[in-house]
Structure 1
């Protein structure tokens, strides 16, 4: 159950009733994001205006604004897990996206993250490794008039060199090895945000490119689904 804050009434999101999604979005912004150090007016507005429920399957929409990751699935079986609203919003805030920026959105799933980023940036390249998810993202992004988003299919770890360099790269998930191929696609002064590590040791990170040097710093503790493309190689001890 999602509960209102600051005296607003509670709304049940699991009882099968028609949900008031606009009100739930506002509650998400006020109760989850503002109370979790999201202070950027532009990020808060973009999250408040983007209908997260549209990017979920009908049976999941009542949970659209609950503070938990949600898995989306394409007709062909491809799956991707959305970051929680709080983690996603703080990562986007840390990226400091300007209206003229070119953004690469890695692991876009059905396109929700790209729809938010489209309101902040000049253009967005939405990268997805699963063709079914990419097709769904193209359809849904067209439905919300995200005309500055281009959806492309490819290996997540390889990024999208054809569209580089990027001012910002957003990785929608966790990586166990640093995404060096993505670093190379940043322009000088570019930023990459994502979650490094798994479990309780995981940290949300922002990386800054200065010349040929990449510097990274942890910005908060975070939990995120580990992306297969960025798993560390398994080692065996005999």
Structure 2
């Protein structure tokens, strides 16, 4: 067993399972996908640490516990279509691709997106497609989606993105208020998203997901 395989097993045993994430598809995906392949070369040694890993200014790969608990709350199924917003170098898309039918990995940072495309291809992930474009606009032409997973902080969810969720579809994101964050999961019912608290976590707010601030003179 390679050093990274050992670390992957330790990540699941020490960070994922103790967080009450026990669904087989999640455990299987997180044991299978080579997390170290989806980080910058100089960050490989930190790939399995229990903290958010910086990929670019203001952009992170969510810590394993946060991502696993989001997946647990979303309960992604094998026939579903997922929009992965802010997919960075593609790790989240690769894990989701293990569990879903198709994953649209949306990334607006062009260098991250082109590298993600190369890594996913190299790692043999055939059912995830990388699109480059503004995160806040989503990817309406491929929607609506059964699941939307947002890989970063959200102060305000853009309406354009919310509208791409199917009826009875689920969305998860890290809702940020100042330095405090909570992961909330929403379900679209009768055209509206009903939110529920899931757990505490933090992440940098994604571009286009900031609260609009009204300035008064």
TM-score, normalised via structure 2 length:
0.95
The separation in 2 between residues aligned to 1:152 and 1:27, in whole angstroms, is 32
1:22-101 equivalence runs, <5 A = 22-73=5-56, 80-101=59-80
Choose which of 146, 156, 165 in structure 1 pairs with 2:144: 165
Are residues 119 and 33 of structure 1, via their aligned partners in 2, closer, same or farther at CA, if it must alter by over 3 Å? same
1:1-238 equivalence runs, <5 A = 20-73=3-56, 80-199=59-178, 201-238=180-217
The separation in 1 between residues aligned to 2:178 and 2:24, in whole angstroms, is 31
Cα distance per residue 1:41-91 (max 9 Å; x no partner):
111110111111011122210111000111124xxxx76311111001111
For residue 235 of structure 1, report the CA deviation from its aligned partner: 3.6
Q: Confirm or deny: 8 A CA contact 2:104 2:130 kept in the other structure.
A: yes
Equivalent pairs, count: 216
Cα distance per residue 1:134-173 (max 9 Å; x no partner):
1000000001111001110111111000000100000001
The separation in 2 between residues aligned to 1:79 and 1:148, in whole angstroms, is 28
Uncovered stretches (5+) of structure 1, i.e. residues with no partner:
1-18
Are residues 232 and 79 of structure 1, via their aligned partners in 2, closer, same or farther at CA, if it must alter by over 3 Å? closer
The separation in 1 between residues aligned to 2:158 and 2:17, in whole angstroms, is 30
The separation in 2 between residues aligned to 1:186 and 1:41, in whole angstroms, is 25
The separation in 1 between residues aligned to 2:158 and 2:79, in whole angstroms, is 24
Q: Confirm or deny: 8 A CA contact 1:83 1:225 kept in the other structure.
A: no
For residue 234 of structure 1, report the CA deviation from its aligned partner: 2.9
Deviates more, 1:25-34 or 1:38-47: 38-47
Match of 1:97, SS? coil
Match of 1:146, SS? coil
For residue 103 of structure 1, report the CA deviation from its aligned partner: 0.2
- Structure index of larger Rg: 1
For residue 192 of structure 1, report the CA deviation from its aligned partner: 0.5
Match of 1:142, SS? helix
- Indicate the structure whose relative CO is greater, using CA pairs within 8 Å and at least 6 residues apart: 2
Uncovered stretches (5+) of structure 2, i.e. residues with no partner:
none
The separation in 1 between residues aligned to 2:186 and 2:166, in whole angstroms, is 12
Q: Confirm or deny: 8 A CA contact 1:203 1:222 kept in the other structure.
A: yes
The separation in 1 between residues aligned to 2:215 and 2:189, in whole angstroms, is 37
